[in-house]
């Protein structure tokens, strides 16, 4: 349990530092969100790429969330992805106060196929390029 807390704390600090120093690249808009990713903040181990995505809410959510930094993984060989961790902020582009953070659980923590035509499929070639 202590190891999980340390991991969550480390990821939270990474997200805070990342949002401040990232060079977010626009992916597109879908529904109530505008999506960005940081092409420089990715790591690769075999076919698995870990990267950060930023979601800006078009309208601030009822709980005050204006943006979320989300750490995700993509399996480039199987074209599947999953969420690892997310941090919610009260200002756009990961600025302002951190409202909460959580590790992915349940279905969000499992690899699922990337759907053709989605924004994630749009950035998959850039993320998976060697």
Q: Please report the domains of the chain, with CATH numbers, ordered by start residue.
A: 2-128 (2.40.128)
29 pLDDT above the threshold of 50: yes
Give one DSSP letter per residue of 65-115, joined into a string. Answer: --EEEEEEEEETTTTEEEEEEEEEESSGGG-S-EEEEEE--GGGGS-EEPP
Q: Is residue 11 within 8 Å of 84, Cβ to Cβ?
A: yes
9 pLDDT above the threshold of 50: no
pLDDT tier for residue 17 given thresholds of 50, 70 and 90: low
pLDDT, residue 21, reads: 66
Helix (H, G, I), strand (E, B) or coil at 96: coil
Mean pLDDT within 81-86: 94
pLDDT, residue 2, reads: 47
30 pLDDT above the threshold of 50: yes
Residue 49: partners with Cβ closer than 8 Å, 6 or more residues away: 42, 43, 73, 74, 76, 127, 128
Q: Which residues share a beta bridge with 29?
A: 34
pLDDT, residue 16, reads: 47
How far CA 52 is from CA of 25, 29, 84, 130, in Å, comes to 11, 17, 10, 18
pLDDT tier for residue 10 given thresholds of 50, 70 and 90: low
């Amino acid at each position: 349990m202590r190891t999980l807390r340390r991991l969550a704390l480390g990821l939270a600090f990474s997200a805070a530092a990342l949002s401040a120093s990232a060079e977010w690249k626009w992916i597109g808009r879908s529904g109530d969100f505008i999506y960005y990713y940081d092409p420089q903040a990715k790591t690769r181990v075999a076919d698995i790429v870990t990267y950060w995505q930023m979601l800006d809410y078009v309208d601030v959510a009822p709980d005050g969330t204006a943006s979320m930094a989300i750490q995700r993984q993509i399996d480039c060989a199987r074209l599947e992805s999953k969420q690892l961790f997310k941090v919610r902020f009260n200002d756009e582009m990961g600025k302002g106060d951190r409202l909460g953070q959580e590790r992915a659980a349940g279905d969000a923590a499992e690899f699922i196929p990337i759907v053709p035509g989605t924004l994630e499929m749009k950035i998959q070639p850039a993320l998976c390029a060697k």
